[in-house]
Amino acid sequence: MTNKNANLPLDDSSCGWYSALHDLPAAKRLQGQQRADYAVIGAGFAGLAAARRLAEQLPEARILLIDAQRVGYGASGRNSGFVIDLPHKFALEHPDPAHKQRLLGLNRAAISQLQGLVDQHGIDCQWSHAGKYQGAVGPRGQAYLEHFAKLMKDLGEPFEWVDRGALAKVIGSQHYSQAIFTPGCYLMQPAALVNGLARSLPANVELLEESPIQRLESDANGGWVLHGSQGRITTPKLLLGTSIFTQEFGYLRNRLLPVMTFASWTRQLTDAELAEYGGQLDWGLTPADHAGTTVRMTQDRRLIIRNTYKHVPKYGRSTSDAMRQQIARDHRKAFVARFPQLAAVPFTHTWGGVYAISRNFTNFFGELQDGVFASACDNGVGAAWGTISGTLLADLAIGADSSQLRDIQAVTGMPSLNPPEPFLGLGVRSRIRLAAFNSRSEI
């Protein structure tokens, strides 16, 4: 089942978050024959949390954490830097209030865990309890906001309506007619956060970067052999924090959809530009209409625009420089519409990040087969979900029990099967185009 060669990550080299990092240590790579009590593939939020938990619970165990790229170079360092407590918009529609409360509790446990690690290890990642705005441009967005307000009331969660004028004082833009502010979201620099988490792992975790695992095979003892280009790892238990790439090892095949979103950011604003901008630093706004535009202002004076979704069946190989240049032009239009006073400020980076969604918006968590555990398919809310699901996956792998473990088992399941190609690709591309057309007034 898992003896095929895997299609490996191939991300563009223009991620602004990663480019802003400094003084990264040299990568240690997989070489020769290695043995581990536990191996974790994927050093994103889920893999980092799983490796940390295993090491803390089993201080005498040898844990190997392996990534095909540098930490923060993949999806974990390419998001917009939100750590969101509220369940995903689709999850908020769930008919069972207990289901939503479990998700909320799990997300908040993740935030608390990350907060503790940032404080304990002094991780410099622009961590901030800034809350989050959800903004509407026109009538379509306004209708989504009204619905969101109803869901918040049903959930018993605090929220605050913000009118155009009050919002403009924060974000420096009159573009939005209204917004809802929710207080529980945190903001951060994602590539800096995951790198800080990686550099503060317990001593019994060994991190191997730039070490793609190309093939898995079972061994005669019921364990696993992980094959890289320069070495192999033998382990009795394997944890996968590989998101969309889980299917490359033969698991959850035809159940995950690879989708890429794109962002652009400016250089740091000068003092004069900051005065012209007229808003505050350190805020984040997501669109009321989920196909709209996400906007952020970082603590270090950079504005970020994120929109555009692409179905990427070959991951990074499905994109091109020409595609990214066109997306940057589209981002420029969205940027100037919001910040005409900053029309002369250039973008310095435009990048994409691939993540996994499922047609039934269900996250997978559990044991795939004897000795192989996975958390896969975060449906676009990866920082909090990856952190808590990775932590609890380690508990599952060592046979621990907790109310949180029971909660995550209650709210996860099996992603639904996808139709075969070419129907899948045609359907996904058509839905993305339709969503973009319907949401054009909010983009």
Q: Is residue 293 part of a domain?
A: no
Is a pLDDT exceeding 80 seen at residue 88? Answer: no
What does the pLDDT look like over 91-137, one tens digit per residue?
888 999 999 999 999 999 999 999 999 999 999 999 999 999 999 99
Q: Is residue 72 part of a domain?
A: yes
What are phi and psi for residue 64, nearest 5 degrees? -110, 130
Span 215-225, mean pLDDT? 93
Residue 236: HSE in the Cβ half-sphere, 13 Å Cα cutoff: 6
Q: Is residue 172 part of a domain?
A: no
pLDDT of residue 330: 96
HEC per residue, the chain? CCCCCCCCCCCCCCCHHHHCCCCCCCCCCCCEEEECCEEEECCCHHHHHHHHHHHHHCCCCCEEEECCCCCCCCHHHCCCCEECCCCCCCHHHCCCHHHHHHHHHHHHHHHHHHHHHHHHHCCCCCCECCCEEEEECCHHHHHHHHHHHHHHHHHCCCCEEEEHHHHHHHHCCCCCCEEEEECCCEECCHHHHHHHHHHCCCCCEEEECCCCEEEEEECCCCCEEEEECCEEEEECCEEECCHHHHHHHCCCCCCCEEEEEEEEEECCCCHHHHHHHCCCCCEEEEECCCCCCEEEECCCCCEEEEEEEEECCCHHHHCCHHHHHHHHHHHHHHHHHHCHHHCCCCEEEEEEEEEEECCCCCCEEEEEECCEEEEECCCCCHHHHHHHHHHHHHHHHHCCCCHHHHHHHHHCCCCCCCCCCCHHHHHHHHHHHHHHHHCCCCC
Is a pLDDT exceeding 60 seen at residue 4? Answer: no
Average pLDDT, the chain: 94
Rounded CA-CA distance 98/124 in Å is 36
Tokens of residue 436, six digits: 């973009």
Span 196-221, mean pLDDT? 96
Span 163-170, mean pLDDT? 98
The CATH number of the domain holding residue 374 is: 3.50.50.60
Helix axes 45-57, 382-398, angle to 10 degrees: 30
Q: Residue 432 — very low, low, confident or very high, per pLDDT cuts 50/70/90?
A: confident
pLDDT of residue 392: 98
pLDDT of residue 3: 45
Is a pLDDT exceeding 70 seen at residue 423? Answer: no
Q: Is residue 290 part of a domain?
A: no
What does the pLDDT look like over 262-312, one tens digit per residue?
999 999 999 999 999 999 999 999 999 988 999 999 999 999 999 988 999
Is a pLDDT exceeding 90 seen at residue 325? Answer: yes
Q: Is residue 399 part of a domain?
A: yes
Rg (CA), the chain: 21
Is a pLDDT exceeding 60 seen at residue 2? Answer: no
What does the pLDDT look like over 367-420, one tens digit per residue?
999 999 999 987 666 899 999 999 999 999 999 999 999 999 999 999 999 887
Q: Is residue 227 part of a domain?
A: yes
Span 15-39, mean pLDDT? 97
Overall number of domains in the chain: 1
Q: Is residue 218 part of a domain?
A: yes
What is the residue range of 207's domain? 16-77+192-255+362-422
Question: Which residue type is seen at 2?
Answer: T
Q: Is residue 267 part of a domain?
A: no
pLDDT of residue 53: 98
What does the pLDDT look like over 336-351, one tens digit per residue?
999 999 999 999 999 9
Share of the chain above pLDDT 90, in %: 86
Rounded CA-CA distance 361/375 in Å is 14
